Amino acid sequence: MWQPVVLPFICERIIAFSIPENAKIWVLSWDELLSVTLAPEICVSIVKRGEEIYDVIDEERSVLMVNEEIYPMLGLYGGVPILRNNVGDGLSLEPQQERLVVLNCSYEIKQIIEFYDGSGDWRWATFSVDSCYLIIGVPHFLHVYKWVEEHE
């Protein structure tokens, strides 16, 4: 089951966020580039500020370039999310209902995750590269979930 991960305050308004890789998410605001580490401990740190952030974002391709690495981004400039994970689960974002439906490989509802977004602007949902995390990104918040096996 997808369980919420509680994050500290990240920033006032998110422009874009990276598809999580190695338990890390890059977050771009209007004036900062932040690194959000999800494991082993949650940590938010500012990497760049001001004009420097425009040197690392390619809006046309919706990618971030940090330390010679390229990270796909989702947000204001578009992007391509990971909508199917390594066990065949899929994501169906229902923005008008402010919910995300997780479907199993047979397209049956596995879980419904409700979220709040008062902006009415862009909204994205994606699995992490390793399928351990699920992210719902909206302009004012990242909703992060971690997969936790259910024990009977």
pTM, entire model: 0.92
Which structural domain range is residue 58 located in? Answer: 12-143
Domain membership of residue 66 (yes or no) is yes
pLDDT tens by residue, 76-112: 999 999 999 999 999 999 988 999 999 999 999 999 9
Domain membership of residue 67 (yes or no) is yes
Backbone φ and ψ for 25, nearest 5 degrees, come out as -125, 135
How many separate domains does the chain show? Answer: 1
Provide the CB-side half-sphere exposure for 125 (13 A, CA). 21
Domain membership of residue 3 (yes or no) is no
Domain membership of residue 133 (yes or no) is yes
Cα separation, 3 vs 65, in Å, equals 30
Helices (runs of H) and strands (runs of E) counted in the chain: 0, 14
Domain membership of residue 107 (yes or no) is yes
Domain membership of residue 46 (yes or no) is yes
pLDDT tens by residue, 106-143: 999 999 999 988 787 899 999 999 999 999 999 999 99
Domain membership of residue 102 (yes or no) is yes
Backbone φ and ψ for 99, nearest 5 degrees, come out as -150, 155
Domain membership of residue 2 (yes or no) is no
